[in-house]
Structure 1
Amino acid sequence: MFESAELGHKLSKEEYAAIEPQLRTDLLNTQFDLLEHKDFAAVILINGIDGAGRGETVNLLNEWMDPRHIEVHAFDQPTDEERQRPPLWRFWRALPAKGKIGILFGNWYSEPINERSFKRMKKAHLDQRLSELNRFEAMLAAEGVLLIKFWFHLSQAGQKKRLKALEANPDTRWRVREADWEIYEHYDRYREVAEHVLRRTSTGIAPWVIVDGSDPQYRAVHVGKTLLERLQRRIEFVRKGFRTRQTAAPLVAAPDERNLLNALVLDQPMDKKDYESQLEKLQGRLALAVRNEAFAKRSLVLVFEGMDAAGKGGAIRRVTAALDTRQYHVIPIAAPSDEERAQPYLWRFWRRLPRQGKVAIFDRSWYGRVLVERVEGFCSEADWMRAYAEINDFEDQLVSAGAIVVKFWLSVSDAEQLRRFKAREEEAFKRYKITPEDWRNREKWPLYEPAVCDMIDRTSTENAAWTLVEADNKYYARVKILRVLVDKLESALKH
């Protein structure tokens, strides 16, 4: 894969001088065109052999374009805060908004390449990571992000020459680390792993561009022209109203119309005395569980979804009553803000993930993509169909990083929902809970019901199963939620 980058590509100073002025002008104009119209975000991944000119090239791009609208992030070893969350968390936080260009050094490829090169990671684990990264990049591309991946390459002799030249210059000596020479000593192994990684992750939506790093003039022009062409082609593509062709297989309802929701017996018996007795015991167990020293190395993510007036707020209050206020955060999810709409849809949830020893309670969640956005037509069928797999990936990453994910769907009957709506309108302190939107959603329930059933069927996994809660009786619903939560939390901490 790297053979063409070892041919010794060169541009003379005269050739470079003839190309450079127009290239930097075109890049700057294209950058401002992107910034003005905010058609998409561009993410540039910078990887490659040490000494191949990665830093110099990025500095040059900042010189040629407006650096105020280029977000450069350099990632080293993860911090303690980053280690307490899934590996991709720190990269999600660095994604640029639409109209911006983000340059990521030490991105999601650096760690797996280094770990495998020094035999700290098995090949099977590496390939699993690469499959996850392919799905991650496919999701970004489907959300409109332009991914441009550069690998800066040098032969082993070229790397040695470059490192020695940097060390010999007092002004650049600081740039050569002991780790650079260590990688040089393992060059053949590093190259072998890198070739495998690039071959497995060079896809139609995000191909790798191999850059010969031996000649600075050639390197600069190659990167500049590639970036310019990719940006201009995407801008033209978007302006003409084209979109990547996506199709989705239809979801077919059961012939007998029986489903997960209409099969529930929603009015379950429980009186107030029994409720209060069980509530106190379950809250006590919950309090002890989150104080357990084992929980200090875990986190808890609670998801509450359900019909309007099904009792999500009341259930959440019974959970938080058992927790230290410094330990949890309730996150109500409404329509995305302008800032959130400028990012892939999962971005606003990634940035709210709890660190170890903490609890995040989502009052509605990332499932809006397959519920309200599906029903209201806020996204295409292809978008919400691919979201099932993307959500499962997201939750798998949470669990792999030590999070305990517990999800509840609360259901009430049509008659009980109507009774609660009317009660809210009649009681002054509850009027804020009822809006014209609630009444409109009630009329659309025939559209929501199959969406909910599809959601549960396709995203109830061994790592993050759904619990369906019969919520006509609020006492029963609250006790069931607490019992399921405590049982799952205690079991996870035990194992």
Structure 2
Amino acid sequence: MFEATKVGRSVSKSEFKEQRDELRTQLLEVQRQLRETHIPVIVVVAGVEAAGKGEVVNRLNEWLDTRGLQTFAYWDLSDEERERPRYWRFWRNLPPRGEIALLFGGWYLTPIEHRFRGLCDDAALDAELTRIVDFERMLTQDGALVVKFWFHLNEKDQKQRLKELSRDDRSRWKMLPEKSKFSEQYELFEHVAERVIRQTDRGIAPWYLVEATDSRYRDLTVGKTLLQAIRARISQPLPMEPPPTADPLDLPDSAPAQITLLDQLDLTQKLERDLYKSELKRLQAEINELTWTAYKKQRTTVLVFEGMDAGGKGGAIRRITSAVDARLYRAIPVAAPSDEEKAHHYLWRFWRHIPRAGYMIIYDRSWYGRVLVERVEGFASEAEWRRAYSEINDFEEQLVEQGAILLKFWLQVSDDEQLERFRDREKTPYKQYKITDEDWRNREKAPQYKAAVNEMVARTSTEYAPWTLVEGDDKPFARIRVLSTICEQLRAALAEDVGASVRSVKRCGDHPERRAKPEARD
């Protein structure tokens, strides 16, 4: 695979100067055109040590307008990155539409180094490469251009470069442990790199192998390749996705076939007021203790609340937040996306709020808007919301892999109960802000929403993140059901070792064990 990067290509100084200014002009022009599009450009810069990756990135920062360009390096894990899923550090660095991000190594750096050092085996590497392919496919399907450069040197040239870098305190290579292995085990590193490139070289996100012996040839090649890739992407929209085929979960038109999971709920269930008060007090006290235990054990808690309008989400959330120390949680009300959020993949705004290990995050509506309101109201195309199921499942799996306790609630009320609550909100001054024209319009689309919820639960109620469907006509009953479920699941999860909660295959690049936090209560 790497033979083509060892043939000795070079460019003279005069040729370089002759081509450089014209190339720079063209890059600035295509960057200007890019700003008018909805295309984010992600450039991954990877390769063997001493190939000049830093020089290339510095050159691109020189040639391009830095106002639309950001550079990110992934050397050491910070504490806040270590306490979140691995891809959190990449999600927060994804560029908005119309801009460019240069990523040193990107999501490839750690898996390659871990496999090279024997910290994982081929199976773990392959599991991570599968996730990488899915991640890049998701980005490109959302409109991103992913350009990946691999810079290569022959063994002799690398040894000479490493010798020179050993005298440079600013070299990343000098900061790495076990530095000599790069020159001593050149063939092993090349073997690992070939496996990674072969399995992740896809038409939607191809690798460009660049001979890095001559810096002038290397830099011109990168500039020209990036120019051509951006031009092609601007002029040629992404290929049309094939029309969806018949889906086994689509409900036929006959009345019996229209019965859904929601129709199986017994909405007549009630809870006596006295029992409600005693249970509320008991469960809130238990939740308080459990959240402190989760903090000490560094187990993140993620609560997701979805449900019908006036289904009781806010009331249930208030019974949780009134019991939990305010220093331990954040509640995120999810409404229509802001301009900044629209400039990114729809999951970006949820990734950015993932808390550090030990804390609780409560989503009042969530990423499921893509397969509910965006589906029903036509804000997302059919291709977009259909592929969202697998994107959401992968997102949630990554949360659980990192040790998060993820609980998802759907609160359901009958049409009659919803109508009564709507009318009550209209009559009560301090509740009027809760009722809008959109709420009334949504009632007219109840059948479409019911079908969407049925499919959502069927496709995303997984072993590691199951849905809890809550009968909500009686508010006391629904609130106690939510609180008791949270206590039950937290108790079970906190009784386990963190590693026992990770159900998926071990992957190259997994974070090291987290350090325990000291107890801090006052």
Pick the TM interval, shorter chain: over 0.9
Residue 21 of structure 2 corresponds to residue 14 of structure 1: no
Where does 1:88-99 land on structure 2 (aligned, <5 Å)? 88-99=87-98
Residue 138 of structure 2 corresponds to residue 142 of structure 1: no
Shift of 1:163: 2.3
Q: 177, 182, 202: which is aligned to 2:174? A: 177
Give the Cα separation in 2 of the matches to 1:460 and 1:120.
Answer: 33
Residue 283 of structure 2 corresponds to residue 287 of structure 1: no
Which residue of structure 1 lines up, in the alignment, with residue 382 of structure 2? 381
Counterpart contact for 1:295–1:493, Cα < 8 Å: no
Give the Cα separation in 1 of the matches to 2:70 and 2:257.
Answer: 55
Which residue of structure 1 lines up, in the alignment, with residue 502 of structure 2? none
- SS of structure 2 residue aligned to 1:150: strand
Which residue of structure 2 lines up, in the alignment, with residue 245 of structure 1? 241
Shift of 1:178: 5.7
* Length, aligned pairs only: 488
Counterpart contact for 2:241–2:383, Cα < 8 Å: no
Give the Cα separation in 1 of the matches to 2:405 and 2:130.
Answer: 23
Identity %: 49
Which residue of structure 2 lines up, in the alignment, with residue 391 of structure 1? 392
- SS of structure 2 residue aligned to 1:355: coil
Residue 14 and residue 132 in structure 1: after superposition, are their counterparts in 2 closer, same or farther (change >3 A)? Answer: same
Shift of 1:38: 3.3
Shift of 1:284: 1.6
Give the Cα separation in 1 of the matches to 2:125 and 2:305.
Answer: 34
Residue 421 of structure 2 corresponds to residue 423 of structure 1: no
Report the AA paired with residue 321 of structure 1. Answer: S
Counterpart contact for 1:76–1:106, Cα < 8 Å: no
Which residue of structure 1 lines up, in the alignment, with residue 33 of structure 2? 33
Where does 1:212-227 land on structure 2 (aligned, <5 Å)? 212-227=211-226
Between stretches 38-47 and 285-294, larger displacement belongs to 285-294
Shift of 1:17: 2.7
Residue 2 of structure 2 corresponds to residue 5 of structure 1: no
Residue 341 and residue 294 in structure 1: after superposition, are their counterparts in 2 closer, same or farther (change >3 A)? Answer: closer
Shift of 1:65: 1.4
Give the Cα separation in 1 of the matches to 2:243 and 2:236.
Answer: 19
Between stretches 9-18 and 384-393, larger displacement belongs to 9-18
Give the Cα separation in 1 of the matches to 2:203 and 2:239.
Answer: 15
Residue 265 and residue 167 in structure 1: after superposition, are their counterparts in 2 closer, same or farther (change >3 A)? Answer: closer
Shift of 1:12: 2.2
Shift of 1:92: 0.5
TM-score by length of 1: 0.96
Give the Cα separation in 1 of the matches to 2:181 and 2:235.
Answer: 45
Give the Cα separation in 1 of the matches to 2:257 and 2:375.
Answer: 24
Where does 1:362-373 land on structure 2 (aligned, <5 Å)? 362-373=363-374
Give the Cα separation in 1 of the matches to 2:492 and 2:211.
Answer: 54
Give the Cα separation in 1 of the matches to 2:228 and 2:295.
Answer: 52
Counterpart contact for 1:329–1:361, Cα < 8 Å: yes
Residue 53 and residue 95 in structure 1: after superposition, are their counterparts in 2 closer, same or farther (change >3 A)? Answer: same
Residue 427 and residue 43 in structure 1: after superposition, are their counterparts in 2 closer, same or farther (change >3 A)? Answer: same
Counterpart contact for 1:289–1:295, Cα < 8 Å: no
Counterpart contact for 2:294–2:300, Cα < 8 Å: no
Counterpart contact for 1:294–1:493, Cα < 8 Å: no
> Runs of 5+ in structure 1 lacking a partner?
none
Report the AA paired with residue 130 of structure 2. Answer: S
Shift of 1:295: 4.9
Counterpart contact for 1:404–1:492, Cα < 8 Å: yes
Structure 1 runs, 4 residues or longer, greater than 3 Å off: 165-168, 178-182, 293-296
Give the Cα separation in 2 of the matches to 1:382 and 1:283.
Answer: 42
- After superposition, give the CA deviation of every residue in 1:124-148 in whole Å (9 maximum; x if it has no partner): 1111111111111111111111100
Counterpart contact for 1:315–1:481, Cα < 8 Å: yes
Shift of 1:218: 1.1
- SS of structure 2 residue aligned to 1:29: helix
Which residue of structure 2 lines up, in the alignment, with residue 400 of structure 1? 401
Report the AA paired with residue 248 of structure 1. Answer: P
Residue 167 and residue 478 in structure 1: after superposition, are their counterparts in 2 closer, same or farther (change >3 A)? Answer: closer
Which residue of structure 1 lines up, in the alignment, with residue 468 of structure 2? 467
Give the Cα separation in 1 of the matches to 2:338 and 2:319.
Answer: 29
- SS of structure 1 residue aligned to 2:262: coil
Give the Cα separation in 2 of the matches to 1:113 and 1:442.
Answer: 52
Which residue of structure 2 lines up, in the alignment, with residue 198 of structure 1? 197
Report the AA paired with residue 17 of structure 1. Answer: K
Which residue of structure 2 lines up, in the alignment, with residue 78 of structure 1? 77
Counterpart contact for 2:165–2:174, Cα < 8 Å: no
Counterpart contact for 1:167–1:174, Cα < 8 Å: no
Shift of 1:293: 6.0
Report the AA paired with residue 3 of structure 1. Answer: E
Report the AA paired with residue 469 of structure 1. Answer: V
Which residue of structure 2 lines up, in the alignment, with residue 52 of structure 1? 51
Report the AA paired with residue 471 of structure 1. Answer: G
Give the Cα separation in 1 of the matches to 2:235 and 2:383.
Answer: 22
Between stretches 296-305 and 278-287, larger displacement belongs to 278-287
Report the AA paired with residue 177 of structure 1. Answer: K
Give the Cα separation in 2 of the matches to 1:39 and 1:295.
Answer: 43
- SS of structure 1 residue aligned to 2:209: strand
- SS of structure 2 residue aligned to 1:204: coil
Which residue of structure 1 lines up, in the alignment, with residue 514 of structure 2? none
- After superposition, give the CA deviation of every residue in 1:367-397 in whole Å (9 maximum; x if it has no partner): 0000011011111111101100000000000
Give the Cα separation in 2 of the matches to 1:79 and 1:121.
Answer: 21
Give the Cα separation in 2 of the matches to 1:260 and 1:173.
Answer: 63
Give the Cα separation in 2 of the matches to 1:243 and 1:390.
Answer: 20
Report the AA paired with residue 233 of structure 1. Answer: A
Which residue of structure 2 lines up, in the alignment, with residue 452 of structure 1? 453
> Runs of 5+ in structure 2 lacking a partner?
497-522
Shift of 1:361: 0.2
User: Alignment RMSD, CA only?
Assistant: 1.4
Which residue of structure 1 lines up, in the alignment, with residue 500 of structure 2? none
Shift of 1:243: 4.4
TM-score by length of 2: 0.91
Report the AA paired with residue 245 of structure 2. Answer: A
Counterpart contact for 1:302–1:407, Cα < 8 Å: yes
Give the Cα separation in 2 of the matches to 1:227 and 1:77.
Answer: 28
- SS of structure 2 residue aligned to 1:129: helix
Counterpart contact for 1:295–1:356, Cα < 8 Å: no
Give the Cα separation in 2 of the matches to 1:158 and 1:356.
Answer: 44
